[in-house]
Structure 1
Amino acid sequence: MFLVIVVAVIALLAGLAANRWLRPRLLSEDDDSGMAVKDLVGPLLTLTVLLLAFVLVTANGSYGKAEVASRGEAKALDQLVEIAEYAPAAQRARIQADAVCYARAVRAREWPAMSDGNGSPAPSVWSTDVRKTFRTLQDKPVFGMLVAADNKRSDEREERLTQASASIPSAIFWFLLATLFITVVALGVCLPRKNNRGQIITLTVITALLTMMLVIIRDVDRPFGGIIDVAPTAISEVERQATRDFLAHHPASELPCDLNGIRRTT
């Protein structure tokens, strides 16, 4: 974000400087004329806006998929906890405890890591433990429902981690940044050298809007970090409900993990 703003400011200053010192050498006369304010929105600016809009739509689609996957994972985990009620007492307690720890690991360990496009091995510890418990239930009617719910959770988590990575390649982002720079500089060169206060204000506003759009693209393309991010609201709610139910059914038991989803040492 800081880089985008710096480049945009440099482009604006370079355009104004070129208008001041380069334009007199390109023209034979010292004129007061130039592009009017309405002429600033020309083909180059139109192309820049179209490119930014297209990329913004792509980034927004990735953001939407990340949000849907996060909610889908939380819903699947909640179903896993509810289906575990039909399992024998020992397996039920273990599955529900692992579900709580999985939710804690996702919220506390994996969510911060996704801001950089990475995952965390912490949740996998508990999903592996859940599947080990399933092996003791293969002859039970509840086995198929538990496996289906866990597979759904696994698929949604994989989709969430996929969307955590930037969907817009770095080359495209640098191309957009270069296009923004060239557009602002070109418009600055075309400004009249005198009586140009209105044109300068307009160019500044255009630069600010284009910069804001590029900053939003950069932010939305990273749905788990930045200003506009997907919060772990759904998984936190499942964690709260699963913890409440586990402690209500097993008041004398202790969860096998701490608040961050890390296995307790025994």
Structure 2
Amino acid sequence: MITADSRERRDLSPAQEVSVVLVIVVAAVALLAGLAANRFLRPRLMADDDAGMAVKDLVGPLLTLTVLLLAFVLVTANGSYGKAEVASRGEARALDQLAEIAEYAPAAEQKRIQADAVCYARAVRTQEWPAMADDGSGSAAPSVWSTDLRHSFRDLEGKPVFGMLIAADNKRSDEREERLTQATASVPSAIFWFLLATLTITVVALGVCLPRRNNRGQLITLTVITALLTTTLCIIRDVDRPFGGAINVDPTAIAEVERQATRDFLTHHKLADLPCDDKGIRRSV
């Protein structure tokens, strides 16, 4: 499970602080050197003081930089989305395997393990999934049943089924941890706002370069470019939180495991024997 401490933002190390300061200083010195060269050196090298790069010549590299940055961040966010989907399916498979292995356990332990598997799946689907969609955090509800699962394994220690159950539960735990890790934003807020500022500057610069007359085609092109860049940034924001938004990972796999585990449990027991309600919350005794 991902704790609050593991998600806490860490301060920059001294080496990182030096690197950041060095980059800022070098960039500032380069800008001042360029302005000084334009002011003092250029008149000696060029007779025509009006010759040089126009604003439109500078917009091209700016547009290229914006597109490359958006593409790079989109690939990063999409990778996080893919990992979240894989982890969700892996967790469901591990839970399904755990419930199936319980068939080889004695009757009392089999009932407890299969019941815990059903309740765990319900808690993940109804409690943890909405929590991840809201703020990227997890829920304590599934941990109640994962803890109860480990307690039920103690009575099986020394039996052949014990090792298989431990392996399946460890796999389930690892996949859940990966799912919770990917639920948090992989693109820092500072980078997102930097991309938004870069997009704004690019669009404004393109607008400055448009002709004032007979510019219908250019206006349409600028509108299309703005729409495409904005859509890309919105997709990055949405995909970066894979469990909330329009493009999200649904709890389909865990819901299917819940259905199968419930079916297997009801083969030998009644629905009232489950220690949890339909939301995975423990019933009061």
Secondary structure class of the residue paired with 2:273: coil
1:253 CA drift (Å) = 5.1
1:251 CA drift (Å) = 3.2
Could you tell me which of 106, 109, 122 is aligned with 2:141? Answer: 122
Aligned counterpart, 2:67: 49
Letter in 1 for 2:120: Y
Aligned counterpart, 1:188: 207
- Is contact 1:102-1:127 (8 Å) kept? yes
Q: Which runs of 5+ in 1 are unaligned?
A: 1-33
Could you tell me which of 89, 104, 116 is aligned with 1:86? Answer: 104
Could you tell me which of 206, 227, 232 is aligned with 2:225? Answer: 206
| Deviation digits for residues 74-107 of structure 1 (CA, Å, limit 9, x no counterpart) | 0000000000000000000000000000000000
Could you tell me which of 150, 157, 179 is aligned with 1:138? Answer: 157
Aligned counterpart, 2:50: none
- Is contact 1:40-1:187 (8 Å) kept? no
Letter in 1 for 2:201: I
- Is contact 1:63-1:223 (8 Å) kept? yes
**1-structure distance, mates of 2:58, 2:236:** 24
Q: Does 1:70 align with 2:88?
A: yes
Q: Does 1:221 align with 2:243?
A: no
Aligned counterpart, 1:31: none
> Matches of residues 1-266 of structure 1 in structure 2 within 5 Å?
42-115=60-133, 116-251=135-270, 254-266=273-285
- Is contact 2:238-2:244 (8 Å) kept? yes
The verdict on how the C-alpha distance between 1:106 and 1:190 changes in structure 2, with shifts beyond 3 A counting, is same
1:123 CA drift (Å) = 0.0
Select the structure with the greater relative contact order (CA < 8 A; seq sep ≥ 6): 1
- Is contact 2:59-2:202 (8 Å) kept? no
- Is contact 2:132-2:183 (8 Å) kept? yes
**1-structure distance, mates of 2:149, 2:65:** 53
So what's the TM-score if we normalise by structure 1?
0.84
Letter in 2 for 1:177: L
**Count of residues paired in the alignment:** 230
Runs of 4+ in 1 over 4 A off after TM superposition: none
Secondary structure class of the residue paired with 1:230: coil
- Is contact 2:126-2:279 (8 Å) kept? yes
| Deviation digits for residues 134-179 of structure 1 (CA, Å, limit 9, x no counterpart) | 0111021100000000000000000000000000011100110000
Secondary structure class of the residue paired with 1:42: helix
**2-structure distance, mates of 1:180, 1:253:** 57
1:250 CA drift (Å) = 1.3
RMSD, aligned CA: 1.5
**2-structure distance, mates of 1:122, 1:92:** 22
1:111 CA drift (Å) = 0.2
Counting aligned pairs with the same residue, the percent is 83
So what's the TM-score if we normalise by structure 2?
0.79
- Is contact 1:247-1:253 (8 Å) kept? no
1:46 CA drift (Å) = 1.0
